[in-house]
Structure 1
Amino acid sequence: MQGDVQPELLTIGEVARRAGLAPSALRFYEAEGLVEPAERVSGRRRYEPRVLRRLDVIDLAKRAGFSLAEVRELLDGFEAGVPASQRWQALAERKLPEVQGLIDQARAMKRLLGTGLTCACLRLDRNLLFAGSDRCRARPSPFASARGPGLVQAGLLFDTLLWKDASGRFLPWLAEGWESSPDKTQWHIRLRPGVRWHDGSALTAHDVEFTFEYLMSGPGSHRELIQHQGLERIVAVQATGPNTVVFGLEAPYPPFEEWVAGRVLILPKHVWSRVDDPFAAEGPETTMGSGPYLLESYHDTTGACTYDANDDYFLGLPYVRRLEFLALPDPLAAFHRGEVDAVNAGGEEAGFNASFGAVRHRTFATMAARGEWARALYFNLAKGFPFDDLRFRHAVAYGIDRDELVRRVLFGRGEAGSAGGLGPSHPLAAPDLVSYRHDPAQATALLDDLGLHAGTGRRRRGPRLTVGLQTSSASADAAELIAGQLGEVGIEVGVEVLSLDDADTAAAEGRYELALVGYGSLGGDPDWLRLQLCSTIEARSRIRVHGYQSRRFDDLAVRQLSAPDGATRQDLVYEMQRVVAEDIPMLCLYVPTRVIAFDEQVFDAWYFTPGGVWGAYPGALNKHALVTGKKIGF
C-alpha cells in the first residue's frame, strides 16, 4: 500500500511572497510562537503549506486590532475542537467598541470568499486603477496645488490630525484624542504615539507646531490655498510635550475640527524647515510624509502617477495595496473595456455626460449623491456700472435659464444651485429663498429701467450693452449657452476662454466683468460664505467676489462664529443666505450630481465624503476607505 503523499515544503522566501510579508516578519512570528518552528533542510528553513492559512488568520487578527497576545490566544488558547468562529466571538466580546467593525470585516470576508468560488474575474492583488477628471496637475506635494484633486493625492502621502469617514463624523487620525476648553478658545490635541514619517523619523508635537507656524507666518503662508482657510483665527500653537499640542484661538471658531484639525496636512519639520520656497520645491523629499501611501512614480506631462502602500503605516497595512491614476483620453471607454477599475463620472465634462449611459460592464456599479461643488456666475462689482447696480444683476439672474444649463451641460445629472450660496442639500440651506426662475420679461423690464440695450434688433433707449464673460475651457459650453440666453433679453456677451490656471489667476486678481468660477465646500461648514463674501477679509483668492460690500452681511458673518448654540447659529446663517440671495453678487448656476462608476468585484467600499475636506474633495477617493476597506470606523 502506497504511503501518504507528503506536501511539498516551502522556502521562507516563497512563504513570505505568498503571504505578502517580509521574511523578517515570518521569523518574528516564529520567535513569538505564532508560527510553528520551521523544519531545516540542508540548514535552510522549510514550511508546510498550511502555514499560509495560519498567516492569513494572523493578518486578519492584526487588522482587527488584536494584540500579539490576543492573536496567540486566538490560535492556541482554546481547547482542541473549538470552532474558529467561537474563538473569534469570545475575543470580540472583550472589545465591545470594536465589535461592529469586526462584524463588518467578517461580512466582507464572507462576500470575498463567496465571490472567489463563483467568479473567475476576481482580482486578488488589491491594486486599484483609477481614471477620470481628478488627475493631479502637479507633483502631489502639499504646496503644489490650490485645488482639490492635487490635495487628494497629497493626502495619500501626508496626514491630518482628524479625518472623516462615510458618516461625516471625525475619526482620530494622527490625533488619538482632542478636546476644547469650556470657552472654546483652546483646543488640546493628543497625538498617537509611535507614528513615523516615511523615512523612519518619529512624528511629534513639534512637527505639528512647526507646520502651523510655517503656514501662518513662514514661507508656506499663502492665503489663496484652501488648506489655509481658517488659520487667521489661530493666535498660537504650542507643543506642550512630545505628543501634546495646544491651539490658542482669538475667539471661538466652530469649524476648528473641520477646517484646521481635519484639513491641514502635517509636515515633517526636518524636511520643510530647510525649504524657503515650498511652492517651487521639487524632489522626492517634498512627497515624504506620514501617509498610507508612498509615491512610486509621477509623470510630469500627463499627471499619471502610482502609489504603493506604506508597510509601516500606523493604522496597519492599507487594504488597497497599490493605486494607479491613469491619464487616458476616454476614461469611460477604458472602464467599459475593463482597463480601469473606477472612474469619476460626475462634473461638466461633455464626453462623460453624453456617453455615461452607454457604459456596460459585467460587474459595473455606480454610486451617486447630490453635489457639493458648483459652477457660479461672478459679478465684478469693482468694475462699477452696471455690475454694481442691483437691477442689472437681477436682470442677468432672470435672463439665465439654469434648468436648461442642467439639461444641456450636465445632461440632467445635477440641479440648479441656491441663490443663497450654500448647496441645495446642505442641512443649513435656508428655505424660501428667491429662486430667480427663468423670466425673460422680468429681465428685459429691469434692463429697460436701467436704460440699457444690446443690438438685438429691438428698439430701446440707452447705450448698447456689451459685457465680457470669462471662463476656463472646463465650462466653455456653459458660457456659450449663457451668452445665447442673455442675448435673448438684450445683453450682448463676449466669451473669453482661458486655460484653467490663467482663469484662476484672473479671477483671483479681479480681471473680469463676469466670470464662471467653480468651487466646492457647498456641504461643509457654512463659514465658507464668510470667507467668500465678507468685505473685511484680506485675501486674494479665485473664490472671492470682487467689490462686494454689505455691512449687514459682514455683521451676520461675524456673529455666526460666536453664536452660543446651534439654533442661534442656524438663524444667522439663514439670514446670511437671504442677504446673498437678494444682493446676488454671484449666482450659483448648477451643482453636478456626484457619480463614480466602479468594478464592484475589485473594490466596493466607495463612499462620498459628507461635507468634503478640501472643498468638495476627496469626494469618493477617501483614503479612510482605501486604508480600511470599510465605510465607517476602523
Structure 2
Amino acid sequence: LERDEQGYIPWLAEKWDVSPDGKSYTFTLRTGVKWHDGKPLTAEDVKFSFEYFVKNPPVWDELNINGKSTIQTIELLDERTLKVTVDNPNATILGRLGNARIIPKHIWGKVDDPQKFITPEAAIGCGPYVLKEYNKEQGAYRFEAFKDYWGPKSLAEIVQFIPVSDGVLAFNKGEIDLTAISPDLLSKYEHNPEFAVKKNPAFWGYRLIFNMEKCSVLKEKSVRQAFACAVNKGELVEKVARGAAVPGNAGYLPVDHLWYNPQVRQYDFNIEKARELLAGKKLSFTLLIANANDEVRIA
C-alpha cells in the first residue's frame, strides 16, 4: 500500500478488507505485475515476504511488536488474494503490512542469511526502475525504466545516483541534475529562471526527544513542559527554516500525519512560564545531534 494525507491508497494491492473484529486482513493484488526478471508476482510472494521478515527482523522488523510476531496465520485464497490474521486488533497493523517490502520467493527462498545477500539478484523488485549498474568503489548506481512496470510510465528513462561531498557544489557545476537545498539557499534558486524549485512536505520533522533514564530530572512533567514553553517555534520557522516549514506541536506525530490529533494540548512560547516551571530545579543535560552541518546549525 501507499499513503497520502487522506489515508491509504492502492499500490500492489488493488483493494483490501478488514474483518469486523480487526484481526483479519484480506488483500487482493493487481493483475499483470511482474518482477524485473519477467516472472509474475503472486500472492505466494507476499506470503513468503511477510514470513521471511518475521524470521529475519534485522532486515525488516515492522511485523514484530515487542520482539514478537503479530501474525498468526497467512492463508492463500488464490494467486492474487491472501488473508492475514493477527493476534490482536491494532491500529498500526495495516500500515505495517502495507509498508513491508515484497520480495520474490524464487530468489530469496534460497537465501539463508539476508544480510550477506549482496549479489545483483538482491536488487530484483517490481518497481518502476531496474538496477543496471552498481559501482561499489564509487558507490554509484544506474537505474533504467522498467518496461513492464504496472504503474504510470516513468518520466525519466535513466536515473543515476552518484556520491558527492557537496551536493550544491556538484549541482552548480552541472554534475548532477537534482539536489536538496537548505532554506538558506532557497532565495538564490527560487528567483532564478534557470532553475526549478519544487517544494514538498518533508517525511520528517525536527524533534527534541528526552532520555529520561540518563537524566532523572527530565522525568518530571513540569520540566518537559518548561522546554515546550521555552522553544519559540515561530522564530525557528522564520529564522532557521526561512519560512520553509510549519511549527511542530506537542506529541510525536507531525501536523500533516494521518493520525495527528489537533485536540492534544499545545504549548505556546512563554519564557516566563518556563522559568516558573523550572524554579528551584537544577538542570544539566547533554544535547545529542546528528553530525551534519545543517543539523548543527539548526540545533
TM-score range, shorter chain: 0.7 to 0.9
The separation in 1 between residues aligned to 2:5 and 2:238, in whole angstroms, is: 29
Describe the shift of the 1:280–1:376 C-alpha distance in structure 2 as closer, same or farther (beyond 3 A).
Answer: farther
Q: Per residue, is there more helix in 1 or in 2?
A: 1
The separation in 2 between residues aligned to 1:393 and 1:369, in whole angstroms, is: 31
Please report how far the alpha carbon of residue 188 of structure 1 lies from its aligned counterpart in structure 2 after TM superposition: 2.0
Paired amino acid for 1:388: K
**2:269 counterpart of 1:437:** yes
Aligned to 1:163: 2
1:479-518 correspondence to structure 2 within 5 Å: 479=299
The separation in 2 between residues aligned to 1:389 and 1:167, in whole angstroms, is: 37
Question: For residues 585-622 of structure 1, what are the alpha-carbon distances to aligned partners after superposition, in whole Å with 9 as ceiling and x for unaligned?
Answer: xxxxxxxxxxxxxxxxxxxxxxxxxxxxxxxxxxxxxx
CA contact (8 A) 1:293 1:310 kept: yes
Show structure 2 runs of 5+ residues with no match: none
Please report how far the alpha carbon of residue 366 of structure 1 lies from its aligned counterpart in structure 2 after TM superposition: 2.7
Aligned to 2:288: 470
Show structure 1 runs of 5+ residues with no match: 1-161, 346-351, 453-464, 480-634
Aligned to 1:392: 223
Aligned to 2:188: 358
Paired amino acid for 1:469: L
Q: For the pair shown, which has the larger CA radius of gyration, 1 or 2?
A: 1
The separation in 1 between residues aligned to 2:257 and 2:171, in whole angstroms, is: 32
1:16-415 correspondence to structure 2 within 5 Å: 162-164=1-3, 170-171=9-10, 173-216=11-54, 218=55, 220-222=56-58, 225=60, 227-228=62-63, 232-261=69-98, 263-300=99-136, 303-315=139-151, 318-336=154-172, 339-345=175-181, 352-359=182-189, 361-362=192-193, 364-383=195-214, 385-415=216-246
CA contact (8 A) 1:338 1:361 kept: no
Please report how far the alpha carbon of residue 334 of structure 1 lies from its aligned counterpart in structure 2 after TM superposition: 4.5
SS in 1 for 2:243: coil
CA contact (8 A) 2:5 2:257 kept: no
SS in 2 for 1:247: strand
**2:250 counterpart of 1:419:** yes
CA contact (8 A) 1:222 1:228 kept: no
Describe the shift of the 1:178–1:442 C-alpha distance in structure 2 as closer, same or farther (beyond 3 A).
Answer: closer
Percentage of matched positions with identical amino acids: 30
Question: For residues 135-177 of structure 1, what are the alpha-carbon distances to aligned partners after superposition, in whole Å with 9 as ceiling and x for unaligned?
Answer: xxxxxxxxxxxxxxxxxxxxxxxxxxx3357976512x33344
CA contact (8 A) 1:211 1:269 kept: yes
CA contact (8 A) 1:178 1:188 kept: yes
The separation in 1 between residues aligned to 2:135 and 2:235, in whole angstroms, is: 39
CA contact (8 A) 1:402 1:438 kept: no
Describe the shift of the 1:163–1:398 C-alpha distance in structure 2 as closer, same or farther (beyond 3 A).
Answer: closer
The alignment's C-alpha RMSD in Å is 3.2
TM-score by length of 2: 0.81
SS in 2 for 1:214: helix
**How many residue pairs align between the two structures?**
293
CA contact (8 A) 1:372 1:423 kept: no
SS in 1 for 2:280: helix
Question: For residues 22-67 of structure 1, what are the alpha-carbon distances to aligned partners after superposition, in whole Å with 9 as ceiling and x for unaligned?
Answer: xxxxxxxxxxxxxxxxxxxxxxxxxxxxxxxxxxxxxxxxxxxxxx
The separation in 1 between residues aligned to 2:192 and 2:165, in whole angstroms, is: 19
CA contact (8 A) 2:26 2:82 kept: yes
Please report how far the alpha carbon of residue 354 of structure 1 lies from its aligned counterpart in structure 2 after TM superposition: 1.9
- Higher RCO (CA-CA < 8 Å; seq separation 6+): 1
The separation in 2 between residues aligned to 1:401 and 1:188, in whole angstroms, is: 46
The separation in 1 between residues aligned to 2:288 and 2:45, in whole angstroms, is: 42
The separation in 2 between residues aligned to 1:235 and 1:269, in whole angstroms, is: 20
The separation in 2 between residues aligned to 1:316 and 1:412, in whole angstroms, is: 34
SS in 2 for 1:306: strand
CA contact (8 A) 2:53 2:61 kept: no
Paired amino acid for 1:356: L
The separation in 1 between residues aligned to 2:202 and 2:148, in whole angstroms, is: 35
